Amino acid sequence: MATFALPLTTHPMEAKTAETLPVEGGPWQYEPKWDGFRCLVFKEGGAVELRAKSGKPLGRYFPEVVAFFGALEAARFVVDGELMIASAGFGALQMRLHPAESRIRKLAVETPAAVTLFDMLAGTDGEKMLRKPLEERRAALEAFAAGYGLNLSPVTRKVDVAKKWLAKPAGNMDGVVAKRLGDPYSPGERTMIKVKRLRTADCVVGGFRYLAGRREVGSLLLGLYDDAGRLDHVGFTSTIPDDERPRLTARLEAMRAPPGFTGRAPGGPSRWATERSGEWEPVRAELVVEVRFDHVTDERFRHGTKLLRWRPDKAPEQCGMEQIRT
């Protein structure tokens, strides 16, 4: 096995979440936060390894990316970037995590992936660059990318430009990351700052789940009406204040009635599904809540949402899928 300039166990530098972009304590470099798979690319001779943020190998699922970096004349390097499929969204990346090699090869041709680079951990001469300041690493990365025509993430030192990225993200951009120009690369440490683009939607409550071991509501199941007028399940919110649970439980139990959702329903086939996750109580589609969310994949909230407020002023039929479509 090849000996790379850095161990394959090297973790990518991470970010802590903030609500606003930092200005003090810099100077800062701002760059887009991409919605893909974080990926470290290691090369030594003809050997190429792709590693996810978790440390798991990704090369098997993205053979076209391995082949691309393997064909570069540069014999060695370690770079940090985001693995994305420009022609599709995050769902297309998830489809690659498939056990059948034939399926992966087919998708590699139909929806090829690429890595957008934003940091350099080891140079083409094998020099380890972790201790060098970001300003020097970025200069080396730009020279490397220019020499081989690689995808390079844009950067700016102007916070006003970064705010525009945050207000109107393009493509697979879903926020902004801020890095200090003088900082070294700190594997596994949250030394960067990320500000996500957060959006809100008014959703219909189509059902609920109980807390584990308690007959109190644990989460609200959320729905939006599709173009055909069917109520599709799009996600959940569990940020319910404890002192409101007893009263809300009584209210929801009094509203229990099937089907809850008239289109896509909760509890469908999923690699994450458990016996308990399939259990839910349908209610009449009468209540509307406003929630805050970050990512949407295949017209579903990818993560849990934050309950902001109840919307008694809004009719359920006004809660359409267009709210979460890009």
Q: Among 16, 33, 43, 314, which one carries the catalytic annotation?
A: 33
Three-class SS of residue 306? Answer: strand
Is 16 catalytic? The answer is no
C-alpha span between 9 and 104 (Å, rounded): 25
C-alpha span between 1 and 20 (Å, rounded): 45
Question: Using alpha carbons only, what angle is made at residue 326 by residues 158 and 316, rounded to the nearest 5 degrees?
Answer: 125
The two three-digit tokens of residue 225, written as one number: 């009406």
CA torsion sign for 295, 92, 170, 234 is negative
Burial string for 153-185 (b: 16+ CB within 10 Å, else e) reads bebbeebeebeebbeebeebbbbbbbbbeebbb
Cis peptide before 258 (omega within 30 of 0): no
CA torsion sign for 294, 167, 149, 128 is negative
Nearest to 321 by CA among 303, 300, 292, 305: 300
C-alpha span between 75 and 72 (Å, rounded): 8
Alpha helices in the chain (DSSP H): 63-71, 90-96, 101-110, 134-148, 159-167, 245-254
Distance of CA 10 to the CA centre of its chain: 21
Contact of 222 with 292, CB cutoff 8 Å? no
Catalogue the active-site residues: 33
